[in-house]
Amino acid sequence: MSNKNVMHNLFYKIKTYIKMGIVLLCLILSAQLLADNLNSQELRQLSEDINSVEKKIINIKIESETWVELKSQADSCEIWVKTPVGSSVTAWFDRPKSKKGRIDINKETLRWVNGASDYIDNNYTIAFDGQFGRRIDHTNSFDNNTVNLNKGELSSEAPEDLIEGPYMMVTGRRFTLLFSSPANSDVTWSEFFRMASENEPSLIKYFDFRMEEFIGIECIKVSTEKGKGWGTIYWIDPTRGYSLLGYKSTGLNKDGSERVCSSNCVNGLNGFPLRLPL
């Protein structure tokens, strides 16, 4: 046999082995993905486990510091710059499904458009004791000047900022208390997994359930893809009372590349039973 034929046969065998290796790798990965998918029984068990945790949550205190970072262009190499805009809050919340709670906005720094200064600091309290909603404005501050407001509002409903809006994230309420799920803000995570275990069409069609490691922790991953590149991912930590450990929403840039629209990650929130100071 000529050297040319020997080399041809050798290359043919190498190509064949590579193809077999690729097929085998694909089969292994497919089997792994199938193994990681949570079935109805596992989802039902998760629902029961999370529900038992929810029942133990009486009241919880959260202290939070947040700030806004900006960059001049949508460039992954561009450095994010911290701005003065942000807030420092202390919050107390009651058990799931309850609207009772209180948020002390110790300092909320906002951009002051057409104001006497570039920024203004607000200090106020919002609360709901199950019967009356309250908002008390304490002070406004700018350029070392403090204005004592000392005014309040009383209503028959919970203030909207207490149960919805940006303070759901700022206070960590959504992360810590299992108050809401991707399905609906009125649905707890235990109810969400129960609905999924019962093959609720709207959940099974749009959501994927599996186990995945996130920041070194084996988590329950709940994800939905609204279209190519568009989707939302939630990571739930079984070691921390099934609280939400991380969240990421993705979209597309003009060039078709994926971009992160918003993301949050909690490395540990401490909550403990106490009496709400309403």
Q: What is the pLDDT of residue 89?
A: 92
Q: Does this model's pTM top 0.75?
A: no
Q: What is the pLDDT of residue 207?
A: 85
Of 274, 203, 262, whose CA–CA distance to 38 is shortest? 203
Q: What is the pLDDT of residue 243?
A: 77
Q: What is the pLDDT of residue 48?
A: 93
pLDDT-based confidence at residue 26 (cuts at 50, 70, 90): very low
Query: Which tens digit of pLDDT belongs to each residue from 132-179?
Result: 999 999 999 999 899 999 999 999 998 888 877 677 767 766 655 555
Cβ atoms 168, 158 nearer than 8 A: no
Q: With helix as H, strand as E and coil as C, how does 13-56 read?
A: HHHHHHHHHHHHHHHHHHHHHHHHECCHHHHHHHHHHHHHHHHH
Choice between 95 and 223, residue whose per-residue pLDDT is larger? 223
- Count other C-beta atoms under 10 Å from residue 207's C-beta: 19
Query: Which tens digit of pLDDT belongs to each residue from 212-257?
Result: 998 888 999 998 865 566 788 888 888 877 877 788 888 887 787 7
Strands in 59-197 per DSSP E = 60-70, 81-93, 101-111, 119-128, 133-142, 145-155
Mean pLDDT over each residue of the chain, to the nearest integer = 76
Average pLDDT over residues 185-198: 82
Lowest mean pLDDT among 87-91, 184-188, 235-239, 269-273: 269-273
The amino acid that residue 109 corresponds to is T
Is the pLDDT reported for residue 19 higher than 80? no
Query: Which tens digit of pLDDT belongs to each residue from 43-84?
Result: 999 999 988 888 777 777 888 888 888 877 666 677 878 899
Choice between 99 and 133, residue whose per-residue pLDDT is larger? 133
